[in-house]
Amino acid sequence: MAKKEAAPAADGQPAGKSKLKLIILIVVGLLLAVGLSVGGTWFILSKGDKSEEAKPAEAAAPAAPVRQPAIYQDLMPAFVVNFSHQNRTRYLQVSMALMSRDAAGMEKLKVHMPVLRNRLVMLLSGQDFAALQTPLGKEMLLQQALASVQELAQKETGSTVVEQVLFTNFVLQ
């Protein structure tokens, strides 16, 4: 009986060790395959990103114009005009600033500042007092002032130098 018990134990040990070795080899093989797959994917994708990033950056650089910083020119002193509204004298005081991105164009326009101020005084004095009390009336006045300034700039300097006309102070009395 002792021989029968020892025989299966002797046969079972080699079979158990070989199964354990087989499982370890399969796990190591799978880990190696997964590691190689991840490493290869990372290598290919990182190589592709560098070449793709370089091409759009080179192509976009000449195509995208560099936006110049804004330059502001205050129109001093403030504009003061009077209105006759319902048999009363009313006043408007407006401080304005011009915004541009062309420093050379603004310097050229400064030479024509008396003509510019005259145009704006005539524009302001021709407004309806009741309309200027509404936000829409103020916005319309800004648009008219911008058109007037750009027209003068186009005539005198050859380009519409001014991007915006801004109210920095607006008092109706």
CATH number at residue 168: 3.30.479.30
Residue 14 pLDDT: 60
Residue 3 pLDDT: 53
Q: Which of 15, 34, 64 is the last residue of a domain?
A: 64
Euclidean distance between CA atoms 60 and 66, whole angstroms = 11
Residue 85 pLDDT: 79
C-alpha distances out from residue 163 to 116, 120, 152, 153, 167, Å? 15, 16, 13, 11, 14
| Summary mean pLDDT of the chain | 83
Q: Which of 64, 92, 113 is the last residue of a domain?
A: 64
Q: For residue 100, which of 50, 157, 163 has the smallest C-alpha distance?
A: 163
What residues in the chain have per-residue pLDDT under 70?
1-16, 48-64
Residue 4 pLDDT: 52
Cβ contact 162:109 at 8 Å: yes
**Phi, then psi, of 15 in degrees rounded to 5:** -70, -40
Residue 66 pLDDT: 78
Euclidean distance between CA atoms 96 and 119, whole angstroms = 13
Q: Are 37 and 76 members of one domain?
A: no
